[in-house]
Amino acid sequence: MKKQTKNNLITYAIVIAAYIILEILMLTGNLSSHMKGLLVPMTYYAIIAVALNLCVGILGELSIGHCGFMCIGAFTSAFFSRATSESLPAAPRFIIALLIGIASAALFGFLIGIPVLRLKGDYLAIVTLAFGEIIKNVINAFYVGIDAKGLHFSMKSAMELNMDGGDTIVNGAMGITGTPHDANFTIGIVLLLISLFVVQNLVNSRDGRAIMAIRDNYIAAEATGINVTSYKMMAFTISAAIAGAAGVLFSHNITTLTASSQYFGYNASIMILVYVVLGGIGNIRGSVIAACILYLLPELLRGFSTYRMLIYSIVLIVMMIVNWSPKVIEWRKRTFGRIGAGRRKAA
């Protein structure tokens, strides 16, 4: 078996093992309701971390507006589910909502990519930042309602919809409330496995090698005849689509969806970037693990009450140093390497 394939299989195995252990704990009633509530958020943050790692680690373009794609996925799918919550049964409704969320996020990823991917480095980061903010603000100004006559749309206020009766679905800053609670842990894990499958296979494919060649040396890649723009677009669009899937899970896990900064602003995007950086840029498995740990951490520290944010920051600094400082890596290798060597000798 190739080393790469083996590595990928380990990643799937970790996710599936975690799923089985948690399911057993749940079935035997050993999991607190607090932990149960954290499972679905953990999966969607892991998914968006994988998406961002594709953009930052594999494509090598810094994006700090990825929550914008998540926002699009969340709103389009929630809109669909909310509008059809009475006319469609749960399973097909969620599948269609998922496809709609992914497709619209991918579409926006593509459209944004056209001008943006002509930029490099810091410039791209700034533009994605701006994009994330635009999405948030535009959605905050949307009013959409449905009545017997069909869809009504306004960007001024709910009164301008001129509906007789009917149902206001997107209510400006109030967002969408009452999205059916369709997401669960199993769906989250399945989506996480699918996104891992997509990203890991992309990386090992011919296209993936082209994308990484662009990251490593733009000029050399272009000189060997790689179509730089189209490969960049491809990676960026796939990344946006996966982020959209995370958004679908988000909006179907929580019944109030508002396009406010704490979920989709640049702080949230940078949070995702932190997951990616801690897990290792370009290391897909690391992203999943880092996202889970960093999402769990503040929740597990609830016992410390208001000090938990302080402790969280300290832990973040310590983790970054322990994981990525060259000196510490060297020391780790020496200490643990010796233990490993000793064990080998004994055996």
Partner 1 sequence: MNKFKRVFSAVLASAMVVSMLAGCGDAAPSGSGAEGSDAGSSSGGSVFKIGAIGPFTGAAAAYGNAVKNGAQIAVDEINAAGGINGTMIEYKSEDDELNAEKSVNAYNTLKDWGMQILVGSTTSACSIAVSENTKSDNMFQLTPSGSAEDCVKYDNVFRVCFSDPNQGIASAQYINDNNLATKVGIIYDSSDVYSSGIYQKFVQESEGKNYEIVSAEAYTQDNNTDFSVQLQKAKDAGADLVFLPIYYSDAALILTQANTMGYAPTFFGVDGLDGILTVENFDTSLAEGVMLLTPFAADAKDDLTVNFVKQYNDKFGETPNQFAADAYDAVYIIKAAIEKSGATADMSVSDLCEALKGAMTQIEASGLTSAKMTWEASGEPNKEPKAVVIKDGAYVSN
Which of 30, 186, 227, 256 binds partner 1 (CB under 8 A)? It is 256
> SS3 for 102?
helix
Which of 305, 343, 344, 346 binds partner 1 (CB under 8 A)? It is 305
Tokens for 130, please give them: 């701006």
Min CB(304)–partner 1 separation in Å: 4
* Positive or negative: CA dihedral 75, 81, 85, 91: negative
Min CB(327)–partner 1 separation in Å: 10
Q: Which of these ranges, 5-13, 73-81, 177-185, 186-194, lies near partner 1 under the rule CB under 8 A? A: 177-185
Which of 23, 147, 222, 299 binds partner 1 (CB under 8 A)? It is 299
Q: Identify which of residues 209 and 308 has a Cβ nearer to partner 1 in the complex.
A: 308
Min CB(254)–partner 1 separation in Å: 5
Stretch (H or E) spanning 177 = strand 176-177
* Residues between 34 and 93 that touch partner 1 (CB under 8 A): 34-38, 41
Min CB(237)–partner 1 separation in Å: 27
Pairing of strands 176-177, 150-154: unpaired
**H-assigned helices in the chain:** 3-27, 33-53, 66-83, 90-116, 122-140, 185-204, 206-216, 218-223, 228-253, 261-264, 266-279, 284-300, 308-324, 326-346
Q: Establish if 111 lies at the interface with partner 1 (CB under 8 A).
A: no
Q: In DSSP terms, which residues pair with 146 in a beta bridge?
A: 151, 167
Q: Which of these ranges, 59-67, 136-144, 195-203, 239-247, lies near partner 1 under the rule CB under 8 A? A: 136-144
* Type of residue at 178: G
* Positive or negative: CA dihedral 76, 78, 84, 90: positive
Residues lying near partner 1 in the complex (CB under 8 A) are found at 32-38, 41, 137, 140-141, 157-159, 172-175, 177-178, 181, 253-256, 258, 260, 262-263, 299, 302-311, 318, 331
